[in-house]
Amino acid sequence: MTNDDEYTEYARARWSALVHSAMLLGAGKAEAEDLAQTTLVRCYLGWTKVSRATNRDAYVSRMLLNAFRASRRRRWWQEKPTEHLPDGGDPDRTAEVDGADAVARALGGLSQPQREVVVLRFYLHLGELEISDVLGIAPGTVKSRLSRALDRLSTDTNLADLDGGRLP
């Protein structure tokens, strides 16, 4: 298998996860696609390094996160947390969308560092040590951020009405 074949297979497999990760971090759909593209093009440029990474997904997650952070820092206007799901929901699935919207609003209530560890842990399913490596912070900091994020989600009023008042 050539490098291009290997890259193509990887890009196809990871595209959705990268787009969704960026959206969960707070990007809109178009920006999320841009960030996924940027990440995957950078993967192409450094494929030798990427393909040799011990944990390729964690390595690429870090690239995505860096691209996301850079895009935020380079904005020339004040940031506003994303609290609403981008358009694209199915009108026949109103209840599900409402629930997801509540989750999105709850995520929007987290600080950005908390939101990052939540996405890395519970969407990309990285371990705490991997998150520590991706974020460049101590494993203990990962634990404390996760703990505080979960505490905050537990008391978030946006999630109170889900599933008849029970948290999932």
Partner 1 sequence: MNDDQATDLIDRLAAQLPRTHAPVPELVEAGRSARRRRRRLVAGATTALVAGVVLGAFLGPRLGDGGDRSDRTDTIDHVSPGEAVVYYLAVEPDTLDAHPAPTRLTARLVDVRNTGNPGLDALSALANSVPEDKDLTNGFNFLRADHTSFIQPTSVTHADGVVTVDLAQDPMDPYPNIDFFGPSGEVITQQLVWTVQTAIGTTDPVRITVRGEPAAGILGHSLDGPVAADPAIVLPPDDPVALQMTVNPDLVGPGQVVTVTYFMRWNRGLAYKLVSADTTDPDLSNPDYYLISDGGTARRSMAWYSGDHPPAVHNIGIGGTGPDRVRIPETAAEGKWLLCAVTPLVEPCAELTVTRNGSPAPDVEGYLSIPLSNDPYPAVTYFEESAGYSLGLTTAVSCPAVVESVTPLGDEALLVKTLPPEYGGCRFAAPPSTDRFPLAGPVAETVKWAVIDQGAGREPVRVRLEFARGTLD
60: helix, coil or strand?
A: helix
Please state, as a whole number, how many other Cβ atoms lie within 10 Å of the Cβ of residue 153: 18
Which of 25, 60, 104, 126 touches partner 1 by CB under 8 A? 104
Q: Which of 27, 35, 110, 131 is in the footprint of partner 1 by CB under 8 A?
A: 27
Asked whether position 55 contacts partner 1 by CB under 8 A, the answer is: no
Nearer to partner 1, 58 or 121 (CB): 121
Q: Does residue 153 touch partner 1 according to CB under 8 A?
A: yes
Find the DSSP H helices in the chain. 3-25, 29-45, 47-52, 56-73, 94-108, 112-118, 128-135, 139-154
User: Do residues 86 and 29 make contact, with C-beta atoms less than 8 angstroms apart?
Assistant: yes
Applying CB under 8 A, does 53 fall inside the site for partner 1?
no
Residue 6 engages partner 1 in binding (rule: CB under 8 A): no
How many helical (H) and strand (E) elements, i.e. helices and strands, does the chain have?
A: 8, 0
Burial label, 76 (beta-carbon count in 10 A; 0-12, 13-18, 19+):
exposed
Residues engaged in binding partner 1 (CB under 8 A): 4, 7-8, 11-12, 15-16, 19-20, 23-24, 26-29, 31, 33-34, 37-38, 40-41, 43-45, 66, 69-70, 72-80, 82, 85-86, 88-89, 93, 96-97, 99-100, 103-104, 106-107, 113, 118-119, 121-123, 125, 136-137, 150-151, 153-154, 159, 167-168
